[in-house]
Amino acid sequence: MGEHTVTSFDEELEHIDRLIRDMGDLAGSMLAGSTRALLTSDNALAQRVVSDDAIMDAKQRELDDASVTLIAKRQPMAQDLRAVVGAIRMAADLERVGDLAKNIAKRVGAVGQTSTPRNLSHSIDTMATLVLEQVNKVIGHYVARDAEALKTLRADDEKIDIQYTAVFRELLTYMMEDPRNITACTHLLFCAKNLERIGDHVTNIAENAYYVMTGTLLPANRPKVDETAAMSAA
């Protein structure tokens, strides 16, 4: 768009909205790519995820710039201002999801040197699938402006936490069984933790999206428990 083009307020809001959707799609594909790379030791795919993160960062900068420019130029009132500030926050969380997927991708090489037990792969795959569903749903509900669905979605984060606790326990067990597993399992621990954190970012995104749509906050957070923080090996 040339700088002399006159854009309407709605077009500017639509631009910001489209960036959120782009970032959401990219977050989903980075997450899917990084976990597939991890479970199939696909170094080329891992490298692609790492490169994609630069695109994510550029989109976030574009959104931030567009938002601040819009506020300064248009001086929007309550509802529209809320939408713009909400978009800035959603973008920050989506960018973090990209970072976390990149971090998983960067561990593919270190993990791939040893063979992951089949059961463990299955547990991690289950967890990754849950997280990916959440990422895709939160963007879907945002695009569909479905505030009610966002409430349910937030509650689903609990399933991810339960699966994380199971994976954490399994990893400790494998490390104790054979010290040769320790390096790979340590990287897998961080991968599982990253997936759990992506779940938390989805929760934040859901809360911000709800606020953008309704102007009210979701009822108080469910108490957030990472049970593994106090966990010893069985």
Binding site for a second copy (CB under 8 A): 68, 71-72, 75, 77-78, 81-82, 85, 88-89, 92, 103, 106-107, 109-110, 113, 172, 175-176, 179, 182-183, 186-187, 189-190, 193, 226, 229-233
Smallest distance from a second copy to CB 89, Å:
8
CB closer to a second copy, 5 vs 75: 75
> 137 or 209: whose CB is closer to a second copy?
209
**Alpha-carbon gap, residue 185 to 190, rounded angstroms:** 9
Q: How far is the CB of 180 from a second copy (least distance, A)?
A: 9
Three-state SS letters, the chain: CCCCCCCCHHHHHHHHHHHHHHHHHHHHHHHHHHHHHHHHCCHHHHHHHHHHHHHHHHHHHHHHHHHHHHHHHHCCCHHHHHHHHHHHHHHHHHHHHHHHHHHHHHCHHHHHCCCCCHHHHHHHHHHHHHHHHHHHHHHHHHHCCCHHHHHHHHHCHHHHHHHHHHHHHHHHHHHHHCHHHHHHHHHHHHHHHHHHHHHHHHHHHHHHHHHHHHCCCCCCCCCCCCHHHHCCCC
The CB-of-229 to a second copy minimum distance in angstroms stands at 4
Contact predicate 81/11, CB 8 Å? no
Closer residue to a second copy, CB minimum distance, 142 or 174? 174
Residue 133's identity, in one-letter code, is E
- Looking at the Cβ atoms of 49 and 137, the one nearer to a second copy is 49
| CB 3, min distance to a second copy, A | 17
Nearer to a second copy, 119 or 221 (CB): 221
Taking a C-beta distance cutoff of 8 angstroms, is the pair 196, 161 a contact? yes
**Rounded to the nearest 5°, which phi and psi values hold at 212?**
-60, -45
Smallest separation (angstroms) from a second copy to the CB of 137: 24
- Report, in Å, the least distance between residue 159 CB and a second copy: 21
Tokens 């309407």 belong to residue: 8
User: CB of 113: closest distance to a second copy in angstroms?
Assistant: 6
